[in-house]
Amino acid sequence: MSPLPEKFTLRPVSPEQVTTVLAPFLARLNREPERHIGYCDDTPEMMVDTLGRMSPVPVDTFRLAFEGERLVGALGFDTDARLGRAWLFGPQVEHEAWHAVADALFTAVCPLLPEHVRELELYYDVRNTRCHEAAVRWGFTSAGDSYVLRFERDGMTGVPHETAESLTPAHHDALKVLHHELWPVSWLTGEQLLEKQDENHRLLVLTEGPELLGYVFAKVQPEFGEGFIEHVAVAERARGRGLGRKLVAAALRWMFSWDEVKVTHLVARAENEPAVRLYRGLGYQVLHPMRAARRPIG
- Domain residue limits, the chain: 8-139, 150-289
Position 2 scores a pLDDT of 64
8-139 and 150-289, same CATH topology: yes
Mean residue pLDDT across the chain: 95
106-164 confidence digits (pLDDT tens):
999 999 999 999 999 999 999 999 999 999 999 999 999 999 999 999 999 999 998 99
Task: Classify domain 8-139 at the CATH topology level.
Answer: Aminopeptidase (3.40.630)
Residue 212 has pLDDT above 90, yes or no: yes
Task: Classify domain 150-289 at the CATH topology level.
Answer: Aminopeptidase (3.40.630)
CA–CA dist 246, 241 (Å, integer): 10
Q: How confident is the model at residue 5 (pLDDT cuts 50, 70, 90)?
A: low
3-state secondary structure of 196: helix
Q: CB of 161 within 8 A of CB of 154?
A: no
68-96 confidence digits (pLDDT tens):
999 999 999 999 998 999 999 999 999 99
Arithmetic mean of pLDDT, 20-43: 98
Phi and psi (nearest 5°) for 4? -90, 125
Q: What is the pTM of this model?
A: 0.93
Sheet with 63-67, side-by-side order of all strands: 8-12, 63-67, 70-80, 85-93, 119-125, 285-296, 141-152, 263-269, 226-234, 211-221, 201-208, 165-166
